[in-house]
Amino acid sequence: MNNETQLKELVKEKYSQIANQSLAQNLTSCCGATSPCCTDEAYTIMSDDYTKLEGYNPDADLGLGCGIPTQYAKINEGDTVLDLGSGAGNDAFVARRYVGESGKVIGVDFSEAMIEKARANVDKLGFNNIEFRQGDIEKLPVAANRADVIISNCVLNLVPNKKAVFAEIFRVLKPKGHFSISDIVLEGQLPEKLQQAAEMYAGCVAGAIQKSDYLALVKETGFQNIELLKEKKIIIPDDILRNYISESELQELKDSDLGIYSITVYAEKPCCEPNTGCC
């Protein structure tokens, strides 16, 4: 579970399967991860409720998020918004409501199956200012200084090289552009058996890093006005954890200081490159 190429292939395989799962299946699992991470109990583990948001498209909602990044994204009419790990288009369709007819939304996803599903959703509605591109968010298929706003929902935890992703976000944002990202982070140590479980990686947990390291990476990339706008603790049900750890290990985990959190982070790109003194 430590080879970047293998991790990427794992994510592509798992999320191609998830693209064909129902919303109900995904809501009761870890970020949509397939069995044995799934549970028969009626849990909603990570996803927030989108159903009352303007622009919501139920066909695009696979229940894979861990926040609502558009809520804090300060999207204006006419903006170009880039959605990283856009899936079937859930956040992209909500973002389109904000940008209006004069704006544009671009979704990028690693999974061909997700891209096909998102494009089918666009075709159903006949929108001409939203598009989906297949690509790796470590090397975005988008020109530099293109986006006013970047959003992402529970995706960066799936990427082995998070430093590369934040560098790409910086490159693609326009000067004074900003991002709003919802993601999973940790406080404390995740047990080794959970770190090594493929389903827990695809389920957005095993690939998460420490919250302090995450925020430090944002700052080191060159972003400013960094704000932690929302934080909620994620509770993984015992019946999921028992697939990977024993009862005694489960109790040790409960007694530990481990915290798994969904956070939404906002940050801005400065008006010029860091350390140039032009602002």
Domain spans of the chain, in order of start: 4-268
Q: How much is the pLDDT for 43? A: 39
Q: How much is the pLDDT for 201? A: 74
Q: Which residues contact 113 (CB under 8 A, 6 or more apart)?
A: 15, 16, 19, 20
Cα dihedral sign, 95-97-99-105: positive
Place domain 4-268 in its CATH homologous superfamily: Vaccinia Virus protein VP39 (3.40.50.150)
CA distance 151 to 69: 6
Beta-strand pair 130-134/259-268: unpaired
Residue 59 CB-half CA count within 13 A: 10
pLDDT mean over 67-91: 97
Quickly list DSSP for 209-277: -BHHHHHHHHHHHT-EEEEEEEEEE----HHHHTTTS-HHHHHHHHHS--EEEEEEEEEE--SS-TTS-
Is the pLDDT score of 30 beyond 60?
no
pLDDT mean over 120-147: 96
Q: Among 80-89, 192-201, 223-232, where is mean pLDDT lowest?
A: 192-201
Is the pLDDT score of 275 beyond 70?
no
Residue 173 CB-half CA count within 13 A: 27
- Residues 226-236 have pLDDT tens digits of 999 999 999 88
Q: How many residues in total does the chain contain?
A: 279
Q: Among 43-52, 111-120, 239-248, where is mean pLDDT lowest?
A: 43-52
Average pLDDT over the chain reads 88
Q: Among 86-95, 173-182, 239-248, where is mean pLDDT lowest?
A: 239-248
Q: If residue 112 lies in a helix (H) or strand (E), which one and from where to where?
A: helix 112-125
Residue 76 CB-half CA count within 13 A: 6
Is the pLDDT score of 204 beyond 50?
yes
pTM for this structure?
Answer: 0.89
- Residues 31-50 have pLDDT tens digits of 544 444 444 443 357 888 99
pLDDT mean over 28-33: 50
Q: Reduced to 3 DSSP states, what percent helix, strand and coil does the chain have, rounded to the nearest 5?
A: 35, 20, 45
CA distance 30 to 201: 9
Q: How much is the pLDDT for 22? A: 53
pLDDT band at residue 17 using 50, 70 and 90 as cut-offs: confident
Q: How much is the pLDDT for 42? A: 34
pLDDT mean over 19-29: 56
pLDDT mean over 161-189: 97
Is the pLDDT score of 208 beyond 70?
yes
Q: How much is the pLDDT for 36? A: 42
Q: How much is the pLDDT for 277? A: 53
Q: How much is the pLDDT for 13? A: 80
Is the pLDDT score of 91 beyond 60?
yes
